Amino acid sequence: MMTAIDHVVISQRRIERRVAELAAEISQIYAGRELVIVPVLTGSFMLLADLVRQLPMKMRVDVLAVSSYQGRATTSQKPKIVLPSRLPLRSRHVLILDDVLESGRSLQAVTRLLRRRRPASIRTCVLLRKRSAKATQLTADFIGFDIGDEFVVGYGMDFNHYYRNLPDVVTLKPEALAEEQ
C-alpha cells in the first residue's frame, strides 16, 4: 500500500495542528451552547474523531452518509443521501463536517436537507477545500486546508474503499489508480 503513494499533500502533524485550531475556533463560536455535529460519512470519520475530542462542550453526534464517488471514480458524481440524520434538530445549533469541498454539491444537498428540520443555525466545516472554480462558489464556515485540484486519499478519504487508514493526506501514483480493483 505504501508503494502506491505518490506524495504527501498534508502530513499527519499538520493535520493535528490544524484540527486543534479548528476546535478552538468552533469552541469560541459555540461557547455556552449545545452543538449537534453531523459528519458526512464515510470520509469525515477521522476528522470527527479528532475534532470532538478537543471540543469542551455539550454535544451530540448524528451521522449522515452521502455517496458522491462511485467505485473507482476520482471525480464527484451527483450526491445521493444513503443514510439520513435522525436526531431532532429543531432550534439546535448544527455543524456539518465533510472531508472535501470540491463541487459543493454534497454539502449543498446536506445543508438543504437539514435546513428543512429548522435548526437554530447551520455551519459547515471541511478538512479540505479544492481550489477549483466550483468549490470556491460555495464556502464553508471552517476550512482546514486549501489544496490543488488533485485526487487525494488518506485521513478517512478513499479510493475504491482503500487508503482511509493512512494518517496523511496523499496522492496516489497513476498506476495505483489504474490497478486498484
Domain count, the chain: 1
pLDDT in tens for each of the 181 residues of the chain?
A: 668 999 999 999 999 999 999 999 999 999 999 999 999 988 999 999 999 999 999 999 998 887 765 555 545 556 666 666 778 899 999 999 999 998 888 888 899 889 999 999 999 999 999 987 465 567 899 999 999 989 999 999 999 889 999 999 999 998 888 875 4
Instruction: Let me know if residue 180 belongs to a domain.
Output: no
Structural domain contains residue 78: yes
58-99 pLDDT tens trace = 999 998 887 765 555 545 556 666 666 778 899 999 999 999
Question: Residue 23's domain is classified under what CATH number?
Answer: 3.40.50.2020
Catalytic residue set: 102
Residue 104 lies inside a defined structural domain of this protein:
yes
Cell numbers 462542550 correspond to what residue?
57
d(CA 77, CA 67) in angstroms, rounded, equals 8
Distance CA 33, CA 93 (A): 8
CA dihedral sign of residues 89, 81, 100, 46: positive
Residue 159 lies in a domain: no
